[in-house]
Amino acid sequence: MPKILAVDWGWVRLGLAVSDDLGLTAQGLGIISRTGEAQVLDAIEGHVRTLGIEAFVVGLPRNMDGSDGPSAEAARIFAQALAERFRLPVHLWDERLTTLAAERMLVEAGVHRRARRGVVDQVAATLILQGYLDRQQALLRRQQP
């Protein structure tokens, strides 16, 4: 499996997660506060270089009815910018309810509200990537005799 960087796209912050060397588990990598697209892509470039990233997964924030709203369109544009800048595969992953799930996990873990704001996007990116990795592993198991 290629080393994958996942991005939980957001208007204010982007959460990041990275796959392990075997492509089995996702680990949170941090957040990037959004000040502009060039700044975000520069920050991601540092991770691409140091971690040997070979592909991206970008969370696609679709509406509950499956339609795309303004956030989904912006995430698609961001995914295209990643593809153009890094010339690496970019996969979109339906992320409906991942931020809510991340928030619930942090509440259950006893993380205070103020501290949650700083990590919820990272946890959401981790959930997005883990879902993607689990799906890839399931597809590989189906292909085996």
Domain hosting 15: range is 4-143
CATH of the domain at 16: 3.30.420.140
- Rounded CA-CA distance 145/86 in Å is 36
Is residue 34 within a helix (H) or strand (E), and if so which, with residue range? none
CA gyration radius, the chain: 15
* Tens digit of each residue's pLDDT (9 = 90 or more) over 91-103: 999 886 676 666 6
What pLDDT is recorded for position 73? 93
What pLDDT band is residue 68 in, cutting at 50, 70 and 90?
Answer: confident
What pLDDT band is residue 106 in, cutting at 50, 70 and 90?
Answer: low
Q: In the predicted model, what is the mean pLDDT of residues 36-52?
A: 94
- Number of domains observed in the structure of the chain: 1
Please give the mean pLDDT across all residues of the chain: 87
Q: In the predicted model, what is the mean pLDDT of residues 108-130?
A: 78
What pLDDT is recorded for position 118? 67
- 137 vs 100: which has the higher pLDDT: 137
1: CB partners within 8 A, 6+ apart? 19, 22, 23, 24, 133, 136
The answer, yes or no, to whether residue 78 has pLDDT greater than 90, is yes
